[in-house]
Structure 1
Amino acid sequence: MNKNGAIIIIEDDQDDQLLLEQVFNELDYSNERVYFPDGAAALDYLNGQIPLPFLILSDINLPKLDGLELRRKLKNNADLNLKCIPYLYLTTALNHQLVVDAYSTSAQGFFVKPSTYSEIRDTMKRIMEYWQKCAAPNNFEQ
């Protein structure tokens, strides 16, 4: 896990992208944010020669390649899987089966998009604080 790496955000709604960018700017996190409108574009990017991202925030309902299938493809890619990139779902979709399906992909979290700006800000702050404190095999200091 590269705590200074980019935050990959896979979200097809431009209004949600703008809102998330505003939240990250207000919270003053220095991590670059890289946005993708669909899972296929994100997969191409992640399969390229890029610096190790900090984490991935993915919607579930996406064009071309949905968030669940994207996670499965990343999990089956041995090189990417060993990089310990946290994969979190951030979606408006919510039902029991969807949560079961999401966790069956070995995701590290499932968050329902909050309805207010302050709730979104609080959720992103908690996510960032948690993962900044989390140890991973590829950033463990002895």
Structure 2
Amino acid sequence: MNKDGTIIIIEDDKDDQFVLEEVFGELGYPNKRMYFSSGLKALDFLYSTSDRPFLIISDINLPELNGLELRSKIQQDADLNLKCIPYIYFTTALNQQVVIDAYSTSAQGFFVKPGTYEEIKEAIDVMIKYWKKCAAPNNF
């Protein structure tokens, strides 16, 4: 895990992307952010870059390749898996089966998108602070 790396955000809703960018700006984390509107576009980027992103924050309901399918493809690719990129779901999709499916892909977190700006800001802050403090096999 590269704690100074890019935060990959996979979110197809432009309004949600705008809110997330505002939140990151207010929180002041220096990590570059890249937004992708589909799981397939994010996967193409991950295959093509030599960079080691810091985090992947992904919606579940996405066009072309949903968040669960994307996570599975990352796990199945030895090179991507070795990058040790934490994969966190941030979604409005909430039912017991979705949560079970998310954790069956070895997700490192599942957050339900809250309704208010301040709650979104708090959730993002919790995610980033937690992973900034975590150790990973490839950051020694």
TM-score of the aligned structures, taking structure 2 as reference length: 0.99
Unpaired runs of at least 5, structure 1: none
Show the counterpart of 1:121: 121
Give the letter for the 1:131 counterpart.
W
Give the letter for the 2:131 counterpart.
W
Give the letter for the 2:92 counterpart.
T
Distance 1:126 1:91 in 2: 16
Give the letter for the 2:39 counterpart.
G
Show the counterpart of 1:65: 65
Show the counterpart of 2:131: 131
Residue 32 of structure 1: CA displacement?
0.4
Give the letter for the 1:62 counterpart.
L
Distance 1:49 1:39 in 2: 15
Give the letter for the 1:96 counterpart.
Q
TM-score of the aligned structures, taking structure 1 as reference length: 0.97
Distance 2:75 2:85 in 1: 10
Distance 1:50 1:14 in 2: 27
Aligned to 2:35, what secondary structure does the other structure show?
A: strand
Distance 2:102 2:134 in 1: 21
Distance 1:68 1:51 in 2: 22
Give the letter for the 1:35 counterpart.
Y
Paired positions, count: 140
Show the counterpart of 2:99: 99
* Deviation digits for residues 37-83 of structure 1 (CA, Å, limit 9, x no counterpart): 00000000001123100000000000000000000000000011011
> What percent of counterpart residues are identical?
66
Distance 1:6 1:49 in 2: 11
Unpaired runs of at least 5, structure 2: none
Aligned to 1:31, what secondary structure does the other structure show?
A: coil
